[in-house]
Structure 1
Amino acid sequence: MRYRRRPRGLGGLRGLGGLRVRLVLAFVLVALVSAVTATALAYRESRTAVLQRKQDAVRTDFENRVEQAAADFDVPADEVALTRFAGGVADGLGGEDTFVVATYRSRTATSDASADRSRITPELRAAVRTRNRMSFQRVERHGRPYLAIGTPVTFDGAAPSGLDVYAVTSLRAESEDTAGLLNAVRDGIVPVVLLAAVLALLAAGTVLRPVRELGRATRRHAAGDLGTRVRVRGRDELAALARDFNETAAALEASVAELREQDARAKRFVADVSHELRTPLTAMTMVATVLDEDADALPPDTAHAARTVSAETARLARLVDDLMEMSRFDSGAARLHLTATDLAEAVRTTLSLRALTGHVRTELPAGVRAMVDRRRVDVIVANLVGNALRHGAAPVTLALTTDPAGDWLTIEVADRGPGLPPEILAHVFDRFYKADTARTRSEGSGLGTAIALENARLHGGTIEAADRPGGGAVFTLRLPWRQVREESR
């Protein structure tokens, strides 16, 4: 049974999109979103709280000072009294950049003549007059925030006196406080994200460790080590997966061991039977040969029977020889006996010994020498050419070519027959396989192509079968080109 190891050359590239990276990215993304959301909420809540506290403090202070100043204010008032009133309200109110504006009918006075009265917007004035109660508005001038507050003045609960008072105070300190809080929280995002990445790596390592072990065990199984097991930790889903893997691996190992044992018994049986048949078959061959030589002197029916016995005995001998050869391959007893060989001459000899020279068109360049097992190459070529002549149609061609790089030798045998249907092509090298329904009946053992392939593999090569584009089948033998050293010639 053969196993092919999965290529690992691209493992690093695949790791870039692996589960570890996805887990880390997910952790970092969740931490980043959480940090940003928390920062935004904290900033909004803190800003609202700071401004509300400032607004409440200014309102209370402003209301108290207006009541105190109104107690000494007489209407109708002149501009001097109105200015004194505004200064009295502004005295001690707020802090830096605070001023008060008082309006009475068409007169207006301010506690600071240089103050920017545009901070008291028309909307705020309209709200104070129409609502007849204290109103607030936050405004921004030249990039600085301010709180504007206005209220109508009444005396002893009577109707509005026509005196309106407005105060404007700076919110710069509160804005700097909230901005500082925002910067502090924002600066904390980076450590939070880094911490999340570290935690994600630790979590990924903990979660992926069983997965990596399972992957390594799977690769060992693919390489043929069916005794590999993984350690079960805990009671979670990964532990259940590890247990399932171990159970499956144990069942697979038992099944493979049973199949190997059955295969070994079958091969031993074939080898033993072939060996036991060898001795009586030798005697039968000798007797059959004598009968065949004397057949002309026998009555017709007896002569036919003698020739039939001789042919079937020879066929049985070939089958036993093929079975013995396959048993040597199966047991690993087959060995190469490499000799310096002129391949063109070797192919010509193979065709000549079997009287096939006139039936095959050859392209055999001179001077192609290699270290090969000449007997096994003879078996391969004879089998491929024999199959082409029996199952294909003329012309049968044989071409010897070399790899320009000097690495491979190729022998291609092609015919112009019906070709190889897909259902046959998949089994053409199977043992005892005969394509009776697609080709003329073969009298062979069904082991010829299997033996040819094993001989090619013993050299480190292979045989490939395919259909020709113009019709017919083509078998291509590829052998590594073992160059002949000068001292071997």
Structure 2
Amino acid sequence: MGLLTIVTAAAVAGAGYVRARDAIVQRAQDNAVIETTNRVEQLYPLPARVFDHAALERIAGRVSGREGSAIAYGDGISAGGMDPSVITGELRSLVSSGRVGWQRVSYAGAVWLVVGMQLRITADGSSRSSGVEVYVLRPFTSEIEVVNELARNAWLIGSAVLILALGLAFLAARGVLRPVRELQLAAWQLGQGDLTARVPVRGRDELASVASTFNSTASSLEHHVGELTRMEADARRFVADVSHELRTPLAAMTAVTDVLDAETASLPGVAGQAARLVNRETLNLTRLVNDLIEVTRFDSGTAALALDDVDVAEVVRTCLRMRGFTEVSASLPDGVRARLDPRRLDVIVANLVGNALRHGAPPVSLTLSVAGSVAGSSLEILVADSGPGLPESVLPHVFARFYKADSARGRSEGSGLGLAIAWENARLHGGTLTAANRPGGGALFTLRMPLGGDA
């Protein structure tokens, strides 16, 4: 738009200057020709005789005027005070043909106008050439000054018009681009999660319509997101409330099932099987409720670390021993100490090893080491099994809540929350938990946590 304004202003100023300049030059030339013609006509009637030098001198003097000089040619001689070098061959040819000619020439550092014509003799009702040509040299200085002044005015007016046009273009562009920038900023804020972002609506043009549409869309989005957030909060609160309410009856049920489990050997066949089934399902339900309570703590942001300087190998050995994971091959070098939450590390290891034993194949191995990096040393625990590994479609979802690779798997085989809780605990420590397949077969889970426990 700015370039168009500049080109338009320059074209208008240039066209105006050229037309005015041509008009001034043409008028000056016409006046000079008319004046010279009038002076020549005052010489008539010319005598029908040969002109000598004195006669040519008188003719040149009479047609020269006050400001110019003239020269007259006739019978091979010339007279007058004009420099003959300013007469071009082109002008001589034109005058020799009987026509009036004129031409602008550079002379003495300025622009001059040369006007030439023939003198004719009229006798017996006919006109013939007298053989005399006169040329008048007039200064063109005043006209050139007028043209130069016109050029300066054209530049000044063109510059003023250009500045004014640019100012108007800037104001117009600002009026158009300002709403666009505001819309862009509001869209960016909305993308960053600020659902209160709105655009001021000005006027009734298309941009105002776009701003109104954006505001209504943002308001609708804010309302729906608010509803979803409220529903999600209600769902989390419901799960938390139900889980807490279930803990008391579950504690009583666990105590009863423990008694039944101790007496299963003395119960008859079907009654013993029922007692063992009740005990196992009660334990599974207790585990599920505890997992749900832990998940709600992560969602609400109330999960916190109880950091302590611990011997990592001892924490892992205790975890394996307490859960009866005796078939696990563990490589646990002594002397590896870290500042972390031992209870949460116990949960991570228990879930990883339990998952490998349930869904992989022996042998299952656990390796503890300290890995160095540019950012510092970190604790690394690898849990690997020798099973078929994880399908490629499962890898992206392995840490998702309630996700089971085999949907037909019975609920007694796990709640689908174990690996999700392990991942959350690793993240709470400022670490990572990843899943992959080993080149030789089997799944490999890698836990990395900073030794300092910085979250």
Corresponding position: 1:409 with 2:370: no
- Select between 214-223 and 231-240 the one with higher mean Cα deviation: 214-223
2:6 corresponds to: 32
TM-aligned CA deviation for residue 170 of structure 1: 3.5
User: Aligned partners of 1:186, 1:111: CA distance in 2, in Å?
Assistant: 42
Q: In the alignment, does 2:212 pair up with 1:233?
A: no
Describe how 1:49-60 pairs up with structure 2 within 5 A.
49-60=23-34
Query: Matched residues in 1 for 2:233 and 2:78: separation?
Result: 116
In structure 1, give the amino acid aligned to 2:62: G
Q: Tell me, yes or no, if the aligned pair for 2:295 and 2:421 is still in contact at 8 Å.
A: yes
Match of 1:42 in 2: 16
Structure-2 separation of matches of 1:423 and 1:109: 112
The alignment of Structure 1 onto Structure 2 pairs a total of residues equal to 449
Matched position secondary structure for 1:426: helix
1:428 aligns with 2:395: no
Equivalent position to 2:309, from 340, 344, 368:
340
CA distance in 2, matches of 1:170, 1:474: 103
Spell out, residue by residue over 1:289-309, the C-alpha distance to the aligned partner (whole angstroms, 9 max, x if none).
333333334444544443333
Instruction: Give the conservation status (yes or no) of the 8 Å contact 1:65–1:89.
Output: yes
> 2:117 matched to which residue of 1?
151
1:448: how far off? 1.3
Deviation of 1:462 after TM superposition, in Å, equals: 4.4
1:273 and 2:242 correspond: yes
3-state SS in 2 of match to 1:76: coil
Counterpart Cα distance in 1 of 2:158 and 2:437: 67
Q: Which moved more, 1:236-245 or 1:398-407?
A: 398-407
CA distance in 1, matches of 2:201, 2:319: 62
- Per the TM alignment, residue 363 of structure 1 is displaced from its structure 2 partner at its CA by 6.7
Given residue 85 of structure 1, which amino acid in structure 2 is its aligned partner? I
Deviates more, 1:216-225 or 1:262-271: 216-225
Q: Deviations over 1:58-109 (max 9, x none)?
A: 01111111111343555321233223212221132xx3xx43232335x242
State the SS of the aligned residue for 1:291. helix
2:60 is the counterpart of 1:86: yes
Q: What is the CA-CA distance between 1:217 and the residue it aligns to?
A: 3.3
- The amino acid of 1:379's aligned partner reads V
Q: TM-score, normalised by structure 2?
A: 0.84
Structure-2 residue corresponding to 1:125: 92
Paired residues of 2:313 and 2:368 also in contact (CA < 8 A) = no
Which of 437, 444, 451 is residue 414 of structure 2 equivalent to?
444
Q: TM-score by structure 1 length?
A: 0.79
Q: Quickly say closer, same or farther: Cα 1:195–1:274, change in 2 above 3 A.
A: same
How far apart, in 1, do the equivalents of 2:160 and 2:439 lie? Answer: 68
**1:260-295, Cα deviation, whole Å (9 max, x unpaired):** 222223223322332333233333333333333333
Partner of 2:347: 379
Tell me whether 1:165 sits opposite 2:140 in the alignment: no
Q: CA deviation at 1:350?
A: 3.0
Structure 2 vs 1, CA of residues 442 and 277 (structure 1 numbering), >3 Å: closer, same or farther?
closer
Amino acid at match of 1:445: S
In terms of Rg, which structure is larger?
Answer: 2
- After superposition, where does 1:12-411 map in structure 2 within 5 Å? 26-27=1-2, 29-72=3-46, 74-92=48-66, 95=67, 98-105=68-75, 107-112=76-81, 115=83, 117-130=84-97, 132-140=98-106, 144-156=110-122, 158-186=127-155, 193-356=162-325, 359-360=328-329, 362=331, 366-370=335-339, 372-392=340-360, 396-402=365-371, 404=373, 409-411=378-380
Cα drift, residue 34 of structure 1: 2.7
**Rounded Cα–Cα distance in structure 2 between residues aligned with 1:466 and 1:179:** 85
When residues 159 and 384 of structure 1 are mapped into structure 2, their CA distance, relative to the original with a 3 A threshold, is farther
Relative to structure 1, is the Cα distance of residues 377 and 129 closer, same or farther in structure 2, using a 3 angstrom cutoff?
same
Unaligned runs of 5+ in 2: none
Q: How many Å separate the matches in 2 of 1:172 and 1:440?
A: 111
RMSD: 3.5
**Whole-angstrom distance in 2 between the partners of 1:74 and 1:309:** 153
Q: Is the 8 A contact 2:46 2:121 kept in 1?
A: no
Q: Tell me how far apart the structure 1 counterparts of residues 336 and 47 of structure 2 sit (CA, whole Å).
A: 130
Residue pair 1:339, 1:374 contacting (<8 A) in 2 also: yes
Cα distance in structure 2, aligned partners of 1:261 and 1:433: 24
Which residue in the other structure is 1:18 paired with?
Answer: none
2:429 paired residue number: 459
Structure 1 pair 279–91 and aligned structure 2 pair: CA distance change class (3 A): closer
Identity of aligned residues (%): 46
